[in-house]
Structures are given as structure tokens and as C-alpha cells.
Structure 1
Amino acid sequence: MNSAIGWIDFDEKERDRAQRLMDLFREQDSRDELGLGAIRDSIADHLFPGTSTIQTRLRYMLFIPWILRSLPSNLGVREMATRARQKEIELVRALIAGAPKDVGIIGRDAGDKLKRLPSSVYWSGLESWGIRCFPGSIDAYFAALPNWPKDAAKDHAEDDLGGAPRGRSLWHERLPDPPAGWPEDIDFELKPDEASFLLDRLVERHPNSLLTYLACRHDRAAADAIWLHPHLADFPAQARRVVDHARVFSGVMHGASLLYNLLLSELRAKEDWIEKYQSALAQWSDEFDSKALVSWSLDDFWHETRHTGHQVLEPAKRFVTDWVSLIRKEGGISRNRDAANALIIAREKRLKKGQSRFANTSARDRWQGASGIERFQFRWPIARSYLKDLKR
């Protein structure tokens, strides 16, 4: 029993991680063509832990526990997974019937054919916020549920479920009960006790994060980027430093992403694409804060943004360092376009190898004209949505 649960847990965790990466690559503006994802996510997890770009509304943090907690424990693993999926599809239908249009319903268009269920989208965040106490993947949850200790003793003795402490709850003990009418009559409006519970989890698990700071202050600023927040000067010192690093990093590396798209457009000889990216690069050059880059310390950046959950490899650091040095020296890319081109091409070839669009004609021909063209936002749009949900 011990080894079986352990194997399922490891395998499903890796598969879930791979699925999250695949979802990001399917989103045109989130593709990580230059291998900067670990840096981006390190910053995002410092500022807005437990979030992801494919999350939508905060109340899913409660919908998922309510669904999974209601499953009978006497079912087989496969039957339990089927029952859970059925309940999540029913949730989609209930939300479509009860919530306003275009408010973040996962599966609104896919319906019964939905592949990425809300439980998968929010599974990692539920653990990060301390709402989910079970430590494994969702398939491991199904496998463990029939034999999970039902006693309430908290003696932390080890049972035979892969080292799980006897009496440990699957979910936080103060998880609110579903409201009257659940699950047929439901929307995204948080009840006061639900909002308090979620805020308490943030304070308990991530007391120093910017998301917690803003949530405790009932912030719902409409800033387009976190560094444009009207109360930036009031942020805690550490959060303010990370935001400032995020601003400079996002700005300088945005030029690299635009140049990548321009180079491919030129190879494809698509005049409209070329004109689009030439214009975007000119605008980037005009708006870029070169003074901030001159005084920006990369050593401080790596120190402030390192995160235990993400490993930033040396090649990624070298690419960022070389790109920053080039922009500092030349004041942009127009003065030494050849050197800038060489950095982008070498980086993409290193990452993609035989599938590099600069070396593989078939891969280049499949390119649709845009990859990772938006500035890094570090999940601020999701955090902003959550803050609005809490404020309501």
C-alpha cells in the first residue's frame, strides 16, 4: 500500500505539472519561447502565491472542496473520478444558469467535453493557501480516500497511507459549508464567512505576500500593471522591491520577445507581420525606461526573486544578463541589431534544438505569427480579480 500510493502521487504530480505547462503554451500570449518562465513564475509566486494564469474566479477555491468532500468514499478510484467529473460538469451548467455572462466560468464553451477541469486548475492553489491538507495529486486523493483515517485524533502517528498522519483532515477544518441551494443555485458572489475564511488562509500561509497585504486592505485598484498601482509607495518594503524588479525585468525582456517575433516574421516574409513588430519595437524603444535599466542591479534581482518552488538555470541567467548588457551598451537594439539577433536566435536554438523555428522550416511554417508578445504581468490580472471578489 505504501509504495503504491507513493508512486501514484509522484506520477500524477509530474503529470499535473506538465499539464499546467501545456495549458500555458496553448495561450498565445503566455508562451515561453525564450525560456524565461521560471523567472516570471518566481516573481509571481512571491507577489501572488497560489494563483495561475488559467484560474478565473476566487470562489472556485471553495467549489472544488465542496465537490470533492461530498464524494462517497466507498467507490473505486475510476468510479470516483467519473463521479467527480460529473459533478464539475454540473457545476458548469449551474454557473451558466446563475451567473452573468463572461465572468470566468471554466468550461462555458466546452461543456461536457471539457478537458481541463476546475479541480485541476485550482489543485495547486488549494494546497498553497492551506485549504487542501491532502498532500498529493487529485488521482492520489481518489486512491487514498477509501482508506483515509476517519478518527479525529491528532496524535500525528503514521498510518499506512504513504506516511499520512493519522487523523489528519483532507481539508481545512474551518472550511465553510456550502450555501443553501448548492449545487444547483450558485454564482461567484462570496458570502461574508467565505471571504473571511479565504482571507484567513492567506494571512496564515502567506503573511508577507503582496496579495495578502492588498487583500487585508480590501484593495480593488484598477491598475493595468502592479507597478502602476496607485498605492505602490505604501507597499511593504520587500514587496515594493520585488515589484520594481518585476517592472524593469518585464520592460527590458519585452523587447527580446518582440524581436523574436519580428525575426520569424522576416523569415516568413510576411509584410503585415513585419510592419506590426517593427512598429511595436519602435514603441517599446520610445517608452522603455532606460534610466531605470542603468541603475538596475541584476545581483539584487536574482537575490530578491529567487524562489524555492522554481529553479532558474544558468543558461537563462546568462541570456538575461547578456541581453541586459546589450541594451545598456547600445541604448536599445537599433544600433547593433546583428548582436541582438544573434542572442535571440542562439537562445531559441538552445531551447528548442531540432524544433527551433530558425533551423526547422516545418516548425517555422506552422508558426501563426505571435508568440509571447505581451509584457509579463506576473498574474496581476488574476490577483486583481480575486481582490475584487473579496471586496464584493
Structure 2
Amino acid sequence: MSRDAIGRAEAQLDGHSEGVRDEIGFLLIHQRYADRFFPGTSVLHTRLRYVLFVPWMYEALQRETKVRSVQRSVERAEVRLAGRLLDAGEDGVIGARRFPEKSNQPPSLIYWTALGAWGLLGPTRDGEHLPTRSRIHATLSSATRTTLDDDGVPLNPSYLPFDKLMPDAPDDFVGDGELTFVLLLDEKKYLRKRLSDVRSVHHPGEPSLLAKLALLNAVPDVEHCWDSEILKYAGRDRDALLRAGQAAALAVIGRGVYAALVEEIRECNDSIQTSRLHRDKLPLILAEHAEEASKLNLLGLQMDGIDLSEPFSAVLTETQDWIHRKNGPVRDLLDCYRRAECRRKGQRARLSQSLKGRELRRVWENEKHPGAKPLHYRWHNVHRLLNDLNGAE
């Protein structure tokens, strides 16, 4: 398997690659809306200058004439990059926790989709699709075996499909000194132009919400992307953004319900002494989010391109009905949540009636299970990326 494939497999097995645990299926809503409003982004994105660091790194590698392994050279370059950023005291350094070891999800993997979505990575020479990292590595690998002319220049230099208008790497990019995330003025202007050209997924002739926010001198400092300060820039995405906020409220209740159900059947069905941590938190979650969650029109989710096939649609419908009834026992939702988790996780479902499910509940520690939080649609990551553009005028 390629390292890209291993990284994707690890993220999926982890179950919360987008920053949320996904026992029931709420991640589908999270991903669809996040991709709609903020194309190319990821919950793993930290700082905007990485979208320049990655192409610059490959261009520097292209200039090397003695490369035994492109893959290992890229890994070393990314470790070196992390070290230089850490030396400068920067926050948001990818690989900081594993340094000086290589990161399982390095910058070139994390930002590759963004490079394509934001126009920094062009199509292959056949013009049919965007190149993968592995294809770039293969191209550079073959180039290292190319015959050189008398001056040591490759007779058939490798082709890197990065945007030719991209600013050149600063003189200090290649070296061992400190490096920062601070964008130079020409880099800010270039990236603002690239981001402001990102089209809407649902309205291709119009700019995305990401593009509109990239044009602001300062992005509103608000907690959620459906805040009124952001809604006024949403245009035709306004109704979808409001539904996203309502869906986030329904999801936080659903995730609270799930944890409460595991506690409930662990204690009542399995006869394992269990504290009421999540069951006692559920009324507080309802008090804060029930009103917004009850407003969500599930048909509106389908209009927004979110697949509400069974059994996930039953979870949403029955959870809303349960909210409307008020004060019903959480166990009323057990059957639909059990079906959804078993469909999604199979033998790894904690709510399963099987012996495996009982064993999973036995080793489950409710104190370590994260508290329920609303879906965020990558807003805090996006906000930080856009803040790096401040002063681009």
C-alpha cells in the first residue's frame, strides 16, 4: 500500500478524521456542508503558508540531481521543515508531536486536495485530471535517472504542474535557519486571488463562501460559521448555512444520546456499575440545543445533497420526535441508534446485542469518551487560514 492509502485507512479506522467521532453517521452532514462552504479545506489544516511550502519543497527537490529515493527525500524535507518552524516558535506545526520522527499525515498529504481546489496544482499534461502525490514522486524519480548535459542540466527535466504565477520561494526557504508562517506581501496577494476564485460547489457560476470571506480585510471573529456576521456574506448559500447550524444542533444532541445509551445498557443490561456522566449531561445539551435542532427540515438536508438513506434518516427523524415529546426516556431511541451503529460499524458497534458488543461496552470508559459538541464544519481551521491573509491589501 502507498503511504497515502495507509494514512487514509488509519484516519477511517480512527473514526474521527474530521474532528468528530462518528458512531452513527453525523460525519456525513459535517463533510457535505464543510465541502460546500469551504472547498478544499480539511480539519487538519493549520496555517495557510503550507500551500506554498509544499510546491516549493517539490521544486527544490526537482533541482537536486542526486536523489536515491524521492519518497524518503520528501519525508526528510518535511521533518526538516517542521524543525525549522518549531525553532521559530511557530504554532500549528504539522508533525510537532512526532518530531524528529516523520509525521503519519505530513503537509504534502494534508494540503494536496487544497492545492488542486485552490488552483495551485494544475492538471497533468494530458489535461484530464489532477496528479496525485505518487505520480509526482514517480515523475521526479524518473527525472533523477535522466541523462545530463555537459553542464549537469537534465536533458529532459521533470514536469511539475504547479501554478506558474505562484510566488518564488524566498531565499531562506532552502536551508536550516528558522522559518515562519508569516506570509510576505506578494504571497498574501497571490493566495487571496487564488482563494477568491474558488467557485461554489452548488452554484458553480458564483464564488464560494470561502472565496467571499477571503476578500475581507478581517474575517469576523465569531464562534460558528452560521453566525449572523457570516450569514450576510452567504448569498444563495444562506438557507443551507442556516440548515447547517440546525443540523449541528441536532447532531450534538444525537451524540449525547449515543453516549447516554451506552451508559444505560452497560449498567442496566450488562449489570456493570456505570456512572451517569453522559446521562446527566444530556438534559443540559437539550436545554441549549433543542430549539434549533427542532427547526431542521430534513427535506432541506436532502435538497442540500445530503443522503438520508436508512437507517440514518430514522435516527434524525426519531431524535426530532423525541425532542418534541420532551422528557421521554433516552431508551426510547435505542433501537434506531443500534441499527444505525451496527450498519455503520458492524462488529465494532458498542450498542450491538452480540457478545462482541457486550465486550466493547465492558472496556468502554465513559469518563474518556469525549463530551458531545456541535458539528463545526472546519470553521475554526478556516478562520485561522483566512486570518493569515490579513494585510493583503
User: Which residue pairs with 1:245 in the alignment?
Assistant: 243
User: Which residue pairs with 1:217 in the alignment?
Assistant: 216
User: Which residue pairs with 1:179 in the alignment?
Assistant: 170
Per-residue deviation, residues 172-230 of structure 1 (Å, max 9, x unmatched): 11111112322433101111111111122122333521111111123322211112253
- Deviation of the 1:51 alpha carbon: 0.9
Q: Which moved more, 1:133-142 or 1:255-264?
A: 133-142
Alignment of 1:156-195 (within 5 A): 169-183=160-174, 184-195=177-188
1:293/1:23 Cα in 2 relative to 1: closer, same or farther (>3 Å)?
A: same
1:272/1:384 Cα in 2 relative to 1: closer, same or farther (>3 Å)?
A: farther
Structure 2 CA distance for aligned equivalents of residues 78 and 389 of structure 1: 36
Structure 2 alignment gaps of length 5 or more: 125-129, 144-157, 200-205
Q: Which moved more, 1:194-203 or 1:204-213?
A: 204-213
1:286 aligns to what SS in structure 2? helix
Q: AA paired with 2:299?
A: D
- Deviation of the 1:264 alpha carbon: 1.7
- Deviation of the 1:46 alpha carbon: 0.6
Structure 2 CA distance for aligned equivalents of residues 76 and 366 of structure 1: 52
User: Which residue pairs with 2:46 in the alignment?
Assistant: 56
User: Which residue pairs with 2:152 in the alignment?
Assistant: none
User: Which residue pairs with 2:294 in the alignment?
Assistant: 293
1:367 paired residue among 353, 364, 368:
364
1:227/1:208 Cα in 2 relative to 1: closer, same or farther (>3 Å)?
A: same
1:57/1:23 Cα in 2 relative to 1: closer, same or farther (>3 Å)?
A: farther
1:330/1:265 Cα in 2 relative to 1: closer, same or farther (>3 Å)?
A: closer
Contact 1:59 1:189 in 2 (8 A): yes
1:39 paired to 2:47: no
Contact 1:323 1:340 in 2 (8 A): no
Structure 1 CA distance for aligned equivalents of residues 8 and 329 of structure 2: 39
1:145 paired to 2:136: no
Structure 2 CA distance for aligned equivalents of residues 201 and 176 of structure 1: 12
1:86 paired residue among 76, 91, 102:
76
User: Which residue pairs with 1:160 in the alignment?
Assistant: none
1:266/1:325 Cα in 2 relative to 1: closer, same or farther (>3 Å)?
A: closer
Q: Which moved more, 1:256-265 or 1:66-75?
A: 66-75
Q: AA paired with 1:246?
A: A
Structure 2 CA distance for aligned equivalents of residues 204 and 352 of structure 1: 39
1:108/1:128 Cα in 2 relative to 1: closer, same or farther (>3 Å)?
A: same
- Deviation of the 1:292 alpha carbon: 6.5
User: Which residue pairs with 2:335 in the alignment?
Assistant: 342
Structure 2 CA distance for aligned equivalents of residues 23 and 75 of structure 1: 39
> Matched residue pairs, number?
354
Structure 1 CA distance for aligned equivalents of residues 21 and 322 of structure 2: 28
1:266 paired residue among 250, 261, 264:
264
Larger RCO (CA within 8 A; separation ≥ 6): 1
Q: AA paired with 1:88?
A: E
Q: AA paired with 1:80?
A: V
Alignment of 1:109-124 (within 5 A): 109-113=97-101, 114-124=103-113
Structure 1 CA distance for aligned equivalents of residues 376 and 274 of structure 2: 24
* TM-score normalised by length of structure 1: 0.80
1:231/1:377 Cα in 2 relative to 1: closer, same or farther (>3 Å)?
A: closer
**Which structure dedicates a bigger proportion of its chain to helix?**
1
1:14/1:199 Cα in 2 relative to 1: closer, same or farther (>3 Å)?
A: same
1:30 aligns to what SS in structure 2? coil
Structure 1 CA distance for aligned equivalents of residues 6 and 67 of structure 2: 17
Structure 2 CA distance for aligned equivalents of residues 22 and 54 of structure 1: 16
Q: AA paired with 2:214?
A: A
Q: Alpha carbon RMSD of aligned pairs, Å?
A: 3.1
Q: AA paired with 1:109?
A: R
Per-residue deviation, residues 94-144 of structure 1 (Å, max 9, x unmatched): 1011134xx211112211223221111111111111212252321221112
Contact 1:30 1:371 in 2 (8 A): no
Per-residue deviation, residues 229-276 of structure 1 (Å, max 9, x unmatched): 5342x2233221121010111111211111111122234449997433
**How much identity, in percent, do the aligned residues show?**
24
User: Which residue pairs with 1:199 in the alignment?
Assistant: 192
